[in-house]
């Protein structure tokens, strides 16, 4: 899981379909899939569902909040996860039922071209476990593995990788053809595909970042709030995070979505909406 600037975020989620304040669980709640720590959120490129990459597989969250999965029955620990075109890219560790051809003890880079129903090994099989993984334009990918703080770059959808620089980033995001890195020293930006970085002036201290389709950067701050970039050097504070955020993404309407102590939550400048709450 991603380090959170010293904040602990080890929790187990049971995502339910009704309010978490219910005294007794419904049959739907009792049958809801248990999701162990969410590492990443992405919009499904082929449907309206959100995808949650977790410790025990990748799950779907429908527009009505119903959670299903793990997709394809795959139980691998998706430590790194991103969408590249219509393909899903993941990394991490195998689960008890993960096919051995995907790699052990580390998955390296694996890819699904059918919305998670099947997966194929792509690169660094058995070798690397990417904790940070993000996609750029065309077929570019950026990642940081658990074995080194070295930033790796791929220009061919993950088939081959080359080192670019060393940066202690806890998250990465591509926005406006620039690569942003959330670090303990502040938000950093690279305009040369990760070869060099410089500090972003005026940015809040962020430990999770994501980019909208329009190129706006959003991030979860160490102050417990979600932030949105307005213009260069200008940021807007959105809603508060409940507890520790586990993952951050953006939905099909470019609204930020987080997983925190409430569950899966959409946050805008107007309000916060729990899409799928946590059963407690």
Domains of the chain: 14-277 (2.130.10.10)
H helices present in 22-163, as ranges? 27-30
What global pTM score does this model have?
A: 0.89
Residue among 244, 277, 273, 250 at smallest CA distance from 262: 277
Residue among 66, 15, 69 at smallest CA distance from 37: 15
Structure tokens at 19: 């309010």
Whole-number Cα distances in Å, 40 to 18, 86, 88, 92: 23, 17, 12, 12
pLDDT digits (tens), the chain, 280 positions:
343 333 333 333 445 323 333 345 554 554 678 898 999 999 999 999 999 999 999 999 998 999 999 999 999 999 999 999 999 999 999 999 999 999 999 999 999 999 999 999 999 999 999 999 999 988 999 999 998 899 999 999 999 999 999 999 999 999 988 999 999 999 999 999 999 999 999 999 999 999 999 889 999 999 999 999 987 779 999 999 999 899 999 999 999 999 999 999 999 888 899 999 865 4
Contact predicate 58/81, CB 8 Å: yes
Exposure class string for 235-253: b at 16+ Cβ within 10 A, else e:
beebbebbebbbbbbbbee
């Amino acid at each position: 899981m991603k380090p959170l600037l010293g904040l602990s975020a080890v929790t187990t989620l049971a995502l339910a379909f009704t309010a978490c304040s219910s005294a007794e669980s419904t049959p739907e709640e009792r049958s809801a899939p248990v999701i162990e720590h969410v590492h990443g959120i992405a919009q499904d490129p082929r449907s309206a569902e959100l995808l949650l990459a977790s410790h025990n597989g990748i799950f779907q969250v429908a527009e009505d909040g119903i959670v299903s999965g793990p997709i394809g029955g795959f139980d691998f620990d998706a430590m790194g996860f991103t969408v590249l075109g219509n393909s899903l890219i993941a990394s991490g560790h195998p689960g008890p039922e993960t096919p051995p051809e995907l790699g052990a003890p580390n998955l390296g880079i694996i890819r699904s071209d059918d919305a998670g129903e099947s997966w194929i090994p792509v690169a660094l099989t058995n070798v690397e476990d990417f904790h940070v993984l993000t996609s750029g334009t065309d077929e570019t990918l950026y990642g940081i593995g658990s074995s080194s703080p070295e930033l790796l770059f791929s220009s061919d959808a993950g088939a081959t990788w080359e080192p670019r620089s060393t940066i202690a980033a806890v998250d990465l995001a591509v926005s406006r053809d620039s690569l942003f890195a959330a670090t303990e020293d502040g938000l950093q930006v690279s305009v040369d595909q990760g070869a060099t970085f410089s500090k972003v002036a005026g940015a809040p201290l962020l430990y999770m970042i994501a980019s909208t389709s329009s190129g706006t950067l959003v991030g979860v701050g160490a102050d417990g709030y979600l932030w949105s970039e307005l213009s260069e050097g200008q940021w807007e504070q959105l809603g508060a995070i409940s507890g520790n955020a586990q993952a951050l993404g953006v939905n099909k309407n470019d609204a930020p979505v987080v997983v925190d102590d409430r569950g899966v939550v959409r946050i805008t400048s107007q309000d916060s909406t729990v899409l799928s709450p946590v059963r407690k």
